[in-house]
Amino acid sequence: MRRKIASACAAAAITLAGAGAAGCSDNADDPTPANTPTSMPETTEDTMTSVDATASAALTTARETAQDAINAAVEAVPIAFAPGTADLNAASDATITAVATALKATEGDVQIEAYATNSDEDAATDLAERRANAVADVLESKGIDRERLSAEGIANPDNVNIDQVKITVTEN
């Protein structure tokens, strides 16, 4: 929350500084008074709406940038498990480290989906949940607050690699 307030204050300062400078001119023929902004919001409410919109756009951009970095890392070296287990393969640690680094740049919540397949639906669900929690545990060990992490196991999904994980950054 503190970071959002600080970001909003910084955005307000930038907005106000830019608006104040917009009316300045070195041209003696310019009829605009030097201390009259050309596009100041009319009310404090307008200013706050503008600041809120700027802060929201910045948070969205940060979340999208983090998601792009996560997608690139997972695509390059997928977070994967030994078949039929919740044991992460050796290459997954480097990918999870890259994911943790990207997550530290945003405040968004994190949805972790892991998959498993088995003719016994309950066994598949159990394995998928253990896989998702294994990834959440490693992310937490790398400094990501567990309260941000949501782990979901999905049994017998269609059209996914069951030995891999999907990570999505969401709004908090």
Spacing of C-alpha 102 from chain mean position: 8
Residue 28 lies in a domain: no
Q: Residue 91: what pLDDT?
A: 92
Residue 17 lies in a domain: no
Strands 109-116 and 149-155, bridge-based pairing: parallel
Q: Residue 99: what pLDDT?
A: 97
Tell me the residue type at 170.
T
Spacing of C-alpha 62 from chain mean position: 6
Residue 23 lies in a domain: no
Q: Residue 2: what pLDDT?
A: 35
Where in the sequence is the domain holding 120, given as residue range(s)?
61-170
Q: Residue 56: what pLDDT?
A: 65
Residue 36 lies in a domain: no
* Contact call for residues 51 and 8 (beta carbons, < 8 A): yes
Residue 2 lies in a domain: no
Q: Residue 62: what pLDDT?
A: 84
CA-to-CA separations, 25 to 15, 28, 34, 41, 103, in angstroms, rounded: 18, 8, 6, 20, 44
Residue 120 lies in a domain: yes
Q: Residue 59: what pLDDT?
A: 67
Q: Which residue do the tokens 């990570």 mark?
A: 167
* CATH number of the domain enclosing 78: 3.30.1330.60
- Cβ–Cβ contacts within 10 Å for residue 88, how many? 20
Residue 129 lies in a domain: yes
Q: Which residues of the chain have pLDDT under 50?
A: 1-26
Q: Indicate yes or no: pTM above 0.75.
A: no
Q: How many structural domains comprise the chain?
A: 1
Q: Residue 120: what pLDDT?
A: 96
